[in-house]
A = this chain, B = another copy of it.
Amino acid sequence: MDFGADHVAGALPEVLAAVATALGPEAGPAASYGGDAWTAKAVDAVRDVFEQPDAEVLLLVNGTATNALALACLTPPYGSTYCSRNAHIATSECGAPEFFSGGAKLELVDADADGKLVLDTLESRLASRAANPKAPHQNVPSAVSVTQPTEDGGVYSVAEIEAIAGLAHKHNMLVHMDGARFANALQAESQATPAEMTWKAGVDVLSLGTTKNGTLCCEAIVFFTSAQSRLAEARFRCKRAGHFLEKQRFLAAQMLAYLKDDLWLRSARNANDRASDLARGIAATPGCSLVRQPAINILFVEMDKAVIAALRDRGIQLSLTAGSEESRGTPEDPERRARFRMCTQWSTTSSHIDDFLCILREVCSANAAAPTQLHA
């Protein structure tokens, strides 16, 4: 059992089968570099899902590349992208946005408890920049990037996206959405369609992730009508970043299988639901608590470090890296407890959850009985 991340899971059988078909002996040779029939179909499938026939779509292997390449098409080297202080693009991509854009800045904006960018702060930051005629001493505000859902498991409502996009557009900036877990957000805000959560709310460019939700490696940049003209530039940037695959049908086959018959939505639904189950079970286990209710497949929990250690001894992966727990103690023992992130996956089953909760209860109960020993 591994609750460290969603990308620890393998690939959906339908995706593996589609790849084997598209590149297997029956398929024969096909045009390279996206000139093949699978790619054309995959682009159309994405357009269909987003109800925008003239959206432009670029398929890539990796989310960091997808985000950074998209942003490089929106911000000149002397521009800046405003994003939440704990956006993945800011904290976990080793400067990819700076690299792809030739040195544009990320302007970090405060986030709320869900990791969502605080609109008022963004507004005052942009107003202050607009009022200050210091140009060319400061970068040109060029884009706003929202992470949907956030790294902290928060989900923007459509109205929240509209408000941010409206503000961005007022300042002549474009709106990027990092949708590495877009399907999970869609499931959480189930009344919204893909179109409503994106371009209808003002999003100009979407990073549409699929890898965490069950493909091998397949992400897309979706340039909606308002940013459609950037495709030509994006293709050159893609090539020079080494992201223009020879056997592009390999990506297209994944995307086609992923979107077919709502597989993507069902996979995300499962991950979200298992996270709810897990949350319920953890909240009900004495000695454990939830930091907040999960909206998607990410949850934040708190328990004794002794419990974590005991779970690890039972072979359970809990958080992505050993160092990522945040100490949360009691006044008497400031190092006693830890908060950390857990993830469920498209492949997590109810029995995985049951098994884990069973072990958790055992461990917690032993810990409660003999906390000192365990803790030491």
- A interface, CB within 8 angstroms of B: 1-2, 4-5, 7-11, 13, 16, 19-20, 22-25, 27-32, 60-66, 68-69, 76-78, 80, 91-96, 98-105, 108, 131-140, 211-212, 216-217, 233, 235-247, 250, 317, 320-324, 345, 347
| Minimum CB distance partner of A92 in chain B | B137
> Are the C-beta atoms of B32 and A11 separated by less than 8 Å?
no
Interface of A is mostly: loop
> Are the C-beta atoms of A133 and B94 separated by less than 8 Å?
no
> Are the C-beta atoms of A140 and B236 separated by less than 8 Å?
yes
A5, A7, A321 pick with most chain B CB within 10 angstroms: A7
A-B contact pairs, 15 of them (CB 8 A): A5-B246, A20-B20, A29-B345, A68-B242, A76-B233, A93-B137, A95-B104, A95-B105, A95-B139, A96-B242, A99-B240, A99-B241, A102-B103, A132-B321, A134-B323
From B2, B30, B94, B347, give the contact of A139 (CB < 8 A).
B94
From B28, B105, B134, give the contact of A10 (CB < 8 A).
B28
> Are the C-beta atoms of B61 and A239 separated by less than 8 Å?
no
Number of copies: 4
CB contacts (< 8 Å) of A217 on chain B: these are 61, 245-247, 250
CB contacts (< 8 Å) of A66 on chain B: these are 242
> Are the C-beta atoms of A96 and B240 separated by less than 8 Å?
yes
| Minimum CB distance partner of A36 in chain B | B8
- A323 vs B250: C-alpha distance in the bound complex, in angstroms? 26
> Are the C-beta atoms of B24 and A13 separated by less than 8 Å?
yes
| Minimum CB distance partner of A102 in chain B | B102
Chain B: minimal CB distance from A91 (Å): 7
> Are the C-beta atoms of B133 and A323 separated by less than 8 Å?
yes
Chain B: minimal CB distance from A349 (Å): 11
- A13 vs B20: C-alpha distance in the bound complex, in angstroms? 8
- The answer to whether A23 and B11 touch (CB under 8 A), given A103-B102, A242-B60, is yes
- The answer to whether A9 and B29 touch (CB under 8 A), given A104-B98, A134-B321, A211-B246, is yes
CB contacts (< 8 Å) of A216 on chain B: these are 19, 23, 247, 250
CB contacts (< 8 Å) of A108 on chain B: these are 108
- The answer to whether A132 and B324 touch (CB under 8 A), given A242-B65, A243-B242, A250-B217, is yes
Chain B: minimal CB distance from A183 (Å): 16
CB contacts (< 8 Å) of A235 on chain B: these are 135-136
Chain B: minimal CB distance from A30 (Å): 6
> Are the C-beta atoms of B65 and A77 separated by less than 8 Å?
no
- Which 9 pairs show the lowest CB-CB distances between chains A and B? A65-B242, A98-B103, A102-B102, A7-B246, A78-B236, A2-B29, A10-B23, A8-B29, A64-B242
